[in-house]
Structure 1
């Protein structure tokens, strides 16, 4: 028939719209492909790691010869001898006298020396202060000698600089009760400090910060940095070293010297911090050669600029002959399945090179295992959000910092290699400081988002985000598909019940049906409110006196289940609901699942901005559970093998993704069944909230909330109220 004038040609949707419709209609296939590709991308990360390189040409590591002389070594030995001579004195007297000896040596070099007093306050969980640092005035409250530590700070002003920038060298030291390793680290730092006090090429001020580590290594650094960046004008920031010493101690007053009078009474500052190095000597001995361990992870997955690690690794390996190491998950080194996977990738690499010698795909099985163990450690510590050393305090103030822990292959008491060890350690620190001194601006050329697979290989954010993108890509597609299916089910039910006289009511039904997602969103919101309440329970549990970690864990679980039951009775009581058909039941569940998946997707995206590693692990656990979740009632009614397998998968995934269960499963795999203790989970969570880790909020609101949402009976469709 010829077209009439009133007919208009039907416009085709745009290609992007057609692609979206195609992906939504085939969401099951897309989900399987994307999840498989995401897991495979994670396993391929050690193969895709690149060699590290110096991005900032101005650093020029190793371009100048070391200037440390035997004079610096002998002075450092004399300092160590003077400090070791105090080991037989009373602890209080030895602590004050060791400070005096240290400040005398600093003053003799022409440095500006000052004391810094800080008030130690243990980290405690407080919901109102979770995302904020402690009040800067807390360091001057409740003054008492027993509750305070005293740091010693020496500053060398740069002869070629303008005083606007500084480099910080930190050495933790327990005044009055130090060991041989701590004294050795102090000797290395003094060797470098002695050299830098004489050179003319120094363009940045040098701050040598000797942290009083009697309350730990992190607390004194954090307190000093807080006072450095937020000045206290109350006059309480000064300290007389004799204040906490008994007046009737004749030894103390007999040793007063002129150098003591040179100590500043105020808080001394230098310029803006360009970088910081925390130097430690380990008590344990290396097996074959002197070893350098690098710790870089800071709070909430923050990492220093990769160039800082690169120059340390280059100077340690190519200039001082040290073996550089980063943390590994040691249990993975003996993993049989990882070895098989490494052999497969090694074989594929050989096949690829035989086809084309230019293809550089594949590494040896041993390198793959070691890279995977290192990558797993880097991923875990970044996701945990807890600093691995005092350098984390610097990252909170946007200062690039790392901790260098040197392990000598022989005991520090061995005099034959003592000078050699001092020389190698001093030259390493000197080379790093010299490279940083060459910079005209802060570190910015290299990467800030990366994961290490070895000291000389890394995976950048542009590579490891592919795995995350593939894992979360199915979530919006499945949510849209479920919502469309729910609308089709409702339309089918309404069509079977419709009559020619119900046209007006049909229009009203369409209006209510378009707002049906609000009911599902309300249930998702309520369960997340419950997750927030559960996250706040430890604050009240901590108020219980003499409560052990095991008892705290049991109380936490009991109160969580009780609050969930109360929420179920208030909101989801079956008596308030009416019978609905199976088709309507499926439609209700589809919309509920769509809303839940949308909430998980948003939570993962938000967490990827705060802590990408935590979001990566969360996606690996939550996405399969979200995609496979199905009402148990419907699967049990089906009575098919496929439904039975899906029930098993849902139960297993829900159990593994539940935070306490996941913690104990991982602990059992890595440490054995004998290591399980109910209090361990409380201690682990306590460390998260004490360090203000965003992972704690993420576990409480996103992970725990969604796992409980799927396991709670009131969220199942036979308890859901039908929409009008």
Structure 2
């Protein structure tokens, strides 16, 4: 029989570590949050040079085969299509017919693809899916119908199971010179691939009619490509649309012997897609510039190898100046330059101890890298595609948009052939690299942030900053719960010593369930957030609503629904007395709220890391600092006054419309303030099915409401 005075066994090491972390949660919270912000600022320093992971790509290993003859034919095509665009009547559909006829003359299998514009309405049942074919405009006019021209070159060395897509968006109603040049680049490449012997993948040229938007035409074609389609262009009523007879005349014309079909044609599985655009700029630039746009819906990115081969071939092959989007407002930031000098000095000190410690970058590189990183983080966080390449990522197809900005002087002086030759050879090199692949892109990264066209930060590095930011949340939640439980236990012990109550008293047994009212309050607020998320669907049914009126109605209905839920379901803290408040009953609410915020941030990091990272920068300090203002006002110490000021500032900044305006000022320039801007921004998120909208309404907003509830607790 064991002795009654035997020492209790020590807990396991992991349990002791957990107890130590929880007991020192305040110190660890300050350390982790500081380290998380510092880690985010260190990402440009920790960025690595890009490299080709897949050896089979071999960019630049073959000599370009695009000849001057191909470019001359393309230049003639550009002139012909430009002259046709100057004619006043029937321009749009005639341009489409001319493109299709040109494809057929080059030896391609050509077909037309008709699509209807999609209505931009919020529909909660189709949030995470693509646009429903049924959500189209009924009884739309002929002018509201877009027609794409699609040409396919079958690979002589292939089996028809894989394909590479070239997309050239153009406005058939108002064709610009840049769009004509992009069509010329694709035409020169099509002329080349019809006679080469090394082609192992089919080549698809999609001339996308962008009169209703670049995204809509590509997305509709992709949806029809991956789903059965019954009927073709014949569904278009020729009697209603008189201009459509021109397309039928072309199809039946025996002038060239080429045939244009109205049936939907398909090739193999798409290995990659390139969207080719030529920018129309009026300002002079020193060199031809290539801008790469890679962000798709919900922060999805193409495989980094695709970006790498484009950057390599553009810089080393054709001498382009490659750029990715950057946050221009940060380039002149003084505090960023001071921070860059600090990191540069620390890098020199570290290098003096060990030359292998390559820490620190020049100030100019750090500032530019930070501006590029911020832009990459912001565009991924929005969850909105940055170009027509966006629909491809919804089908797990690697795609990017290449926007070429030519020197204005080179085009004006008749050097158009040279520009078409350089642009065509660059795209030819990308096609040859992708053509060498025996499988889909998989070797390199899919989760990354760019700091320059040739530098990136991988997921294994940037996740550390996010992990440090959210790490204090579970520790503080456990500390608040244990602290409240200790105080309850001490008060119960005093009651037991002063009253003859039995140990089996139900009033004592169920004291451990005191967190249930707090959980009920958090649940009610999150149920309310679901209502707030769905309200725009009903507000959108009101005709002729302005953004300002819609936003005001959204706010009023949200406030009314919160009061109604509180009345119907009740408030768990409505009957708490002042004596109970002194026992820190609010701490249980804060503990459950922090736990819910932690779960929401972790789930969002799986869907869209950039949104979770920016959200953590706003939510985590607000959650950790939230304390009833009543206590701080009574204390009247320097610490309490500072905490009160911080709570008020964080509550103001954390309010979603305020946070939007501040981020708009930081990332896009402030400009004029309009009350309806927040509605327009939210509308753009739900139109593009961005999960950021769900995060703002169902994670950020309820967390802000609960923090304000704690601040105003019994004030």
TM-score by length of 1: 0.94
Give unpaired runs (5+ residues) of structure 1: 720-724
**CA distance in structure 2 between the partners assigned to 1:250 and 1:268 by the alignment:** 21
DSSP 3-state at the match of 2:261: coil
Following TM superposition, by how much is the alpha carbon of 1:286 offset from its aligned partner in structure 2, in angstroms?
Answer: 5.4
**CA distance in structure 1 between the partners assigned to 2:462 and 2:577 by the alignment:** 49
For the 8 Å contact 2:323–2:453, the answer to whether it is kept is: yes
- Quote the residue 2:524 is aligned against: 526
- Quote the residue 2:117 is aligned against: 120
For the 8 Å contact 1:117–1:238, the answer to whether it is kept is: no
- Quote the residue 1:246 is aligned against: 242
Following TM superposition, by how much is the alpha carbon of 1:244 offset from its aligned partner in structure 2, in angstroms?
Answer: 6.4
DSSP 3-state at the match of 1:172: coil
Match status 1:479 vs 2:480: no
Deviation per residue, 1:25-75 (Å, 9 max, x gap): 111111111111101100000000000000000000000000011110111
Deviation per residue, 1:96-124 (Å, 9 max, x gap): 32222222221122110000001112321
Following TM superposition, by how much is the alpha carbon of 1:503 offset from its aligned partner in structure 2, in angstroms?
Answer: 3.4
Matching residue within 355, 362, 378 for 1:380: 378
Distance 1:654 1:496, change over 3 A: same
Match status 1:179 vs 2:176: yes
- Quote the residue 1:12 is aligned against: 10
DSSP 3-state at the match of 2:197: coil
Distance 1:203 1:572, change over 3 A: same
For the 8 Å contact 2:273–2:399, the answer to whether it is kept is: yes
**CA distance in structure 1 between the partners assigned to 2:222 and 2:698 by the alignment:** 32
- Quote the residue 1:636 is aligned against: 633
**CA distance in structure 2 between the partners assigned to 1:503 and 1:38 by the alignment:** 50
**CA distance in structure 1 between the partners assigned to 2:563 and 2:459 by the alignment:** 42
- Quote the residue 2:546 is aligned against: 548
Match status 1:695 vs 2:692: yes
Following TM superposition, by how much is the alpha carbon of 1:130 offset from its aligned partner in structure 2, in angstroms?
Answer: 1.5
**CA distance in structure 2 between the partners assigned to 1:461 and 1:558 by the alignment:** 41
- Quote the residue 2:65 is aligned against: 67
DSSP 3-state at the match of 2:443: coil
- Quote the residue 2:29 is aligned against: 31
Matching residue within 566, 584, 590 for 1:587: 584
For the 8 Å contact 1:34–1:471, the answer to whether it is kept is: yes
- Quote the residue 1:53 is aligned against: 51
For the 8 Å contact 1:668–1:676, the answer to whether it is kept is: no
For the 8 Å contact 1:622–1:657, the answer to whether it is kept is: yes
**1:68-107 equivalent positions in 2, closer than 5 A:** 68-91=66-89, 93-107=90-104
DSSP 3-state at the match of 1:283: coil
**CA distance in structure 2 between the partners assigned to 1:254 and 1:218 by the alignment:** 27
Distance 1:23 1:247, change over 3 A: closer
Distance 1:667 1:240, change over 3 A: closer
- Quote the residue 2:195 is aligned against: 198
Following TM superposition, by how much is the alpha carbon of 1:243 offset from its aligned partner in structure 2, in angstroms?
Answer: 6.5
Match status 1:232 vs 2:229: yes
Give unpaired runs (5+ residues) of structure 2: none
**CA distance in structure 1 between the partners assigned to 2:688 and 2:258 by the alignment:** 39
Distance 1:674 1:614, change over 3 A: closer
**CA distance in structure 2 between the partners assigned to 1:575 and 1:612 by the alignment:** 35
For the 8 Å contact 2:113–2:232, the answer to whether it is kept is: no
For the 8 Å contact 1:349–1:361, the answer to whether it is kept is: yes
For the 8 Å contact 2:329–2:669, the answer to whether it is kept is: no
Matching residue within 135, 138, 141 for 2:132: 135
- Quote the residue 1:159 is aligned against: 156
**Which segments of structure 1 move beyond 6 Å, counting only runs of 4 or more?**
240-244, 247-256
**CA distance in structure 2 between the partners assigned to 1:130 and 1:16 by the alignment:** 42
Following TM superposition, by how much is the alpha carbon of 1:247 offset from its aligned partner in structure 2, in angstroms?
Answer: 7.2
Following TM superposition, by how much is the alpha carbon of 1:245 offset from its aligned partner in structure 2, in angstroms?
Answer: 5.0
Following TM superposition, by how much is the alpha carbon of 1:231 offset from its aligned partner in structure 2, in angstroms?
Answer: 1.1
Following TM superposition, by how much is the alpha carbon of 1:560 offset from its aligned partner in structure 2, in angstroms?
Answer: 2.2
For the 8 Å contact 2:23–2:479, the answer to whether it is kept is: yes
For the 8 Å contact 1:97–1:252, the answer to whether it is kept is: no
- Quote the residue 1:342 is aligned against: 340
- Quote the residue 1:722 is aligned against: none
**CA distance in structure 1 between the partners assigned to 2:110 and 2:30 by the alignment:** 64
Following TM superposition, by how much is the alpha carbon of 1:712 offset from its aligned partner in structure 2, in angstroms?
Answer: 3.2
Following TM superposition, by how much is the alpha carbon of 1:587 offset from its aligned partner in structure 2, in angstroms?
Answer: 3.0
Following TM superposition, by how much is the alpha carbon of 1:672 offset from its aligned partner in structure 2, in angstroms?
Answer: 6.2
Following TM superposition, by how much is the alpha carbon of 1:588 offset from its aligned partner in structure 2, in angstroms?
Answer: 1.2
For the 8 Å contact 1:384–1:693, the answer to whether it is kept is: yes
Distance 1:539 1:475, change over 3 A: same
**1:594-609 equivalent positions in 2, closer than 5 A:** 594-609=591-606
Deviation per residue, 1:231-266 (Å, 9 max, x gap): 123x25656796665379999969973248611131
**1:486-505 equivalent positions in 2, closer than 5 A:** 486-499=484-497, 501-504=499-502
**1:396-475 equivalent positions in 2, closer than 5 A:** 396-410=394-408, 413-475=411-473
RMSD: 2.5
- Quote the residue 1:657 is aligned against: 654
Distance 1:243 1:440, change over 3 A: farther
